[in-house]
Structure 1
Amino acid sequence: TDLDATLQATKGESMTIKLSATGTPKPEVVWTRGNDDLVPNDRIQVTAPTTEGDDTYTLTILNVQPEDQGDYSAKITNVGGSLKSKKCKVTVTSK
């Protein structure tokens, strides 16, 4: 369930952070940057597993910008409780 410790993203390109999480029922995952929950939009895409046996959740940010730099983590919740993943420190570099 741990994220990569660091990720380097390039301005204007896309980046993807992946997380494996299992549980019954299948957990819900909310991605955060710092203390802010990320809301999917035209630039921020969130996917959850759709097939049996798949436990990969992904966060993809398109057209990465300098303000996307920061500490990303995921809140994983189901009826059994909740936990927070370790952080992934994202740095953004120009092309």
Structure 2
Amino acid sequence: MVQRGLGGPPRIADKVIHRQSVRLGRTIKLLCPVEGDPPPLTMWMKDGRTIHSGWTRFRVLQQGLKIKEVESDDAGTYICKATNGFGSMNVNYTLIVIDDASSGKDSQVPEGSNGEYEDHSGKQWARPRFTQPAKMRRRVIARPVGSSVRLKCVASGNPRPDITWLKDNKPLTPQEIGENKKKKWTLNLKNLKPEDSGKYTCRVFNRVGEINATYKVEVIRKYCPLGHSTKIGVHCQ
């Protein structure tokens, strides 16, 4: 414990397991075991964004962060920042969200500061990472009926990661994916219909960890003035 009267910056008061896993729909609590004199104030961030009262399923507690009814989008990097008059420190977490589609794929592995570690044979493992983030910046995509769209989630890792696709948090069936299973990192949606609108999530995972990304696809009905022709494949209603 910090000696009274001396004062000191925040410090870790207990062991932290930086990699946490939770199943879809469950509740999880990420602890922030810090102490200091004076007692530090804490704030939480997810992927660089400050968590506030508008995040309805998130509750910032005195000693941690509680997330209820976990969704796939909740996966990511969480930081608890503790600050007092003598300094500040961060407690980092990587949260992995799993469901029945990926159960059994996830296993506990030795922790590494950057998601990498060596096993007893000296082999280097690495958690998945997206290798073409510039092609993933546009996450909200609008397309007219009858057109097509490609959703990319190119990733690397060791062991080589697998990928699954979900629509509105439900795994896509092989029939829905169709020929796209030949193109491992790309989901190609053709001849779009209004019912194809929704959130498409790619889940990339190996034995070290899991990452995901979500695209929102909006299929727009094409309205045409009377007597005007339209592009082939675009329906007017």
TM-score by length of structure 2 reads 0.33
Cα 1:43/1:21, change in 2 over 3 Å: closer
- Whole-Å separation in 2 of the counterparts to 1:31 and 1:43: 8
Which structure has more helix as a fraction of its residues? 2
Give yes or no for contact 2:169–2:201 (8 Å, CA) kept in 1.
Answer: no
Which one-letter code corresponds to 1:16 in the other structure?
A: R
Shift, 1:60, TM fit:
0.7
- Whole-Å separation in 2 of the counterparts to 1:42 and 1:69: 14
1:1-95 correspondence runs (5 A): 1=130, 3=136, 4-41=138-175, 44=178, 45-46=180-181, 47-48=183-184, 57-85=185-213, 87-94=214-221, 95=234
Shift, 1:84, TM fit:
2.1
Cα 1:43/1:37, change in 2 over 3 Å: closer
Higher RCO structure (Cα 8 Å, ≥6 apart): 1
Q: Percent identity?
A: 28
- Whole-Å separation in 2 of the counterparts to 1:77 and 1:16: 21
Moved more, 58-67 or 34-43: 34-43
Cα-to-partner distance string for 1:9-67 (whole Å, 9 max, x where unaligned)? 2212221111121101211111111111112327642321xxxxxxxx10011211111
Report the 3-state secondary structure (helix = DSSP H, G, I; strand = E; otherwise coil) of the residue aligned with 1:22. Answer: strand
Question: What is the RMSD of the two structures over their aligned residues, measured on CA atoms?
Answer: 1.9
Shift, 1:83, TM fit:
2.3
Q: Which runs of 5+ in 1 are unaligned?
A: 49-56
Q: Which runs of 5+ in 2 are unaligned?
A: 1-129, 222-233
Count residues in correspondence: 86
Greater Rg by CA:
2
Give yes or no for contact 1:14–1:60 (8 Å, CA) kept in 2.
Answer: yes
Cα 1:43/1:72, change in 2 over 3 Å: closer
Which structure has more strand as a fraction of its residues? 1
- Whole-Å separation in 1 of the counterparts to 2:177 and 2:168: 18
- Report the equivalent of 1:53: none
**Which 4+ stretches in 1 moved above 4 angstroms?**
none
TM-score by length of structure 1 reads 0.76
